[in-house]
Each structure stands twice: as structure tokens, then as C-alpha cells.
Amino acid sequence: MTSSNLRIVSLLPSATEIVAALGLTDAIVGRSHECDYPAEIQNRPVCTEAQLNSEKPSAQIDADVRDLVQKALSIYNIKLDVLEELKPTHIVTQDQCDVCAVNFAEVEKAVAELTHSQPQIISLQPQVLSDVWADIERVGTTLGIESQPLLAQLHSRVEACKEKVQGLSKRPSVVALEWTDPLMSSGNWIPELVELAGGLPLLSVPGQHSPYLEWDTLLRADPEVIIIMPCGFDLERTRKETQLLEQHPEWSSLQAVRMGTVFITDGNAYFNRPGPRLVDSLEILAEILHPDSFDFGYRGTGWEDFIIDNA
């Protein structure tokens, strides 16, 4: 099959970014309701919808997610009529996290019900960085596109950070938070990124899902740096969520708060999408942790200092 015959539906933001980075933006005929990058795919038909209200407070979103998962219900619905109309040749989805996108079983069920097409499902399941690179290669191979030029470029940027960090004497301890109420530490590939950026990751394990975190555990760890990257939230929403953290009675006792080394990020665009922009995420971390050595220009758009209220 030639690239001109491809009709790709992506049900995952990171998958959309992988397909686009491989040069197949024009072949994307449908997307999930959360796929928003690159900008030119935003006019493609939307094939999914969420059963959650993301405008609710964080604690309520978490409760709603847990309730749906406990009842074995999908957090997302597939618009079968849209999928039928699009006649995709391929559907790219994931089998890594039922909270992140439509679960794999739902996609299989939808494809079995299609009558006008029999698309091939490409399912991604990244846990660590090497899985992300393997996914890029697999997507390229399946779609008949050479992935090595893209991978070489991404690896080159990672190595540039890695080499520069090796010469630095100080590695600050870091807690990255994926959720603020309740607290969750960032898992999977985030500890690797923190280490590559010259930090010492605390309270998370590479390749494991993001764990819930007790305040006492955070207080005992008392990191030198706290980086907040809520899943699905942009910089503005993250700022609001972090302001709520200030209301906790123990917040001001944290070393990072006292030192003014709390940072907020656009977790939606970067850290929580296992695709090419994880390298951007690494560069953001390098800027945060070692500002004298790195300046990639993400400050103000990808991350910013959280202004501590010491009143």
C-alpha cells in the first residue's frame, strides 16, 4: 500500500504526533477528541468522546475515573458512525492506560462492527523511553515509512542533553507530580527523563504507572525541586491546580517551596504524550534543573516558575 492510499484514524494524541512526525499528516482522516497537534489535524473528523467532564475539580475527576474503571466501563466512547464513514485502512490506538484513551477492547469491538472497511489496528503500549522509540519504528514499518531519520534526530537531541549533563557536578533531587488532588507521582518514562536531564528522581519507578502519593511521603522525601505536570492540563490549568496545593497546611514546610524551586509545566502537550515531543520534555527538564547550562526557549510556553505566595 502506498502512502497516498493510507487512511489513518488516530485515537491517541501521541500516536497522531508519531504519524505526523513520520510525514503522514495528510493521511490522517480522523482523530480522537484530544488530538490537537500538529495544528493542521484539528479540522479532521472526531471519532471519540469522553464520558468525563474535565472542567471539574481534580479530586472529582479522579473519583469519576475510578468509578468508571471499577464498574469496568470505558471512559471514552467511539463514534462508530464517523468511523464507518471514514473507511480507515489503519487505526492507531493504545493498550497502555484506560484513562489516557479508548481502551483496546473497545477499539477491537468497534472494528468488528464496521461493514465498509477492515482497518488494521496498530496498538501502542509504551512504558519506558525505549518502548516509545520501538513504537515509532513499528508504526513506520506498518505504514511503509522509513522511521530511522526521525529516530536518529530524536536520539541526537537526547545524546546532546546526556553529554552536557555528565559534566555537571550537582544533581538536584526531584519529585514530578502527575496529579495534585489526590497527589500522584509521575511514573513510566518520566523518571528516565528526569535522570537524563540531570536530576535525581524520587518517589517513582521507571516503567511503572504513576502511583498515588501520601502527603507524608512527599514531606519525608522533601525534594529540592518539585515539577508539576498534570495529565491533560495545559500551563494555565496547571497554575490553578498548583495554587490549590498552597492551601495544604504542610505545603510551606517543603524545601522546594522555601527555595522557590517549584515549577509548572504544560503536561498535556509534553510529558504525558509518549511520542516525539518527549524529547522536548527532556529539554524542558534540562532548562528547569540546569538553567545555566541549557536554554532551548521553552520557558513561558512549556514551563514557568511557580510564584510562591509567602504572604
Q: Mind listing the pLDDT tens digit for each residue in 144-196?
A: 999 999 999 999 999 999 999 998 889 999 999 999 988 999 999 999 999 99
Give CATH for domain 170-305.
Answer: 3.40.50.1980
- Tell me the per-residue pLDDT of 96-148, one tens digit each, with 9 for 90 and over: 555 555 666 777 787 788 878 899 999 898 999 999 999 999 999 999 999 99
pLDDT tops 90 at residue 201: yes
Helix (H, G, I), strand (E, B) or coil at 158: helix
What pLDDT, on a 0 to 100 scale, did the predictor assign at position 78?
A: 85
Res 199 pLDDT > 70: yes
Q: What is the mean pLDDT of residues 286-290?
A: 97
pLDDT at 70: 56
> What span, in angstroms and rounded, lies between the C-alpha atoms of 29 and 89?
10
pTM: 0.91
Instruction: Give the lowest-confidence range in 41-50, 60-69, 255-264.
Output: 60-69
The answer to whether the beta carbons of residues 102 and 74 sit under 8 Å apart is yes
pLDDT of residue 2: 57
DSSP3 helix / strand / coil % (the chain, rounded to 5): 40, 15, 40
Q: What is the pLDDT of residue 217?
A: 96
What is the dotted CATH code of the domain comprising 3-149? 3.40.50.1980
Domain with CATH 3.40.50.1980 in the chain: 3-149, 170-305
Give the pLDDT of residue 181: 86
Q: How far apart are the first and last CA of the chain?
A: 64
Shortest CA distance to 303 belongs to which of 236, 243, 244, 245?
236
Q: Which three cell numbers stand for residue 89?
A: 485502512
Q: At what angle do helices 148-166 and 129-143 cross, to 10 degrees?
A: 160
Write down the pLDDT at residue 73.
46
Question: Residues 6 or more apart from 191 whose CB is under 8 A from it?
Answer: 176, 201, 204, 205, 206
Q: Is the peptide bond before 38 cis (omega within 30 degrees of 0)?
A: yes
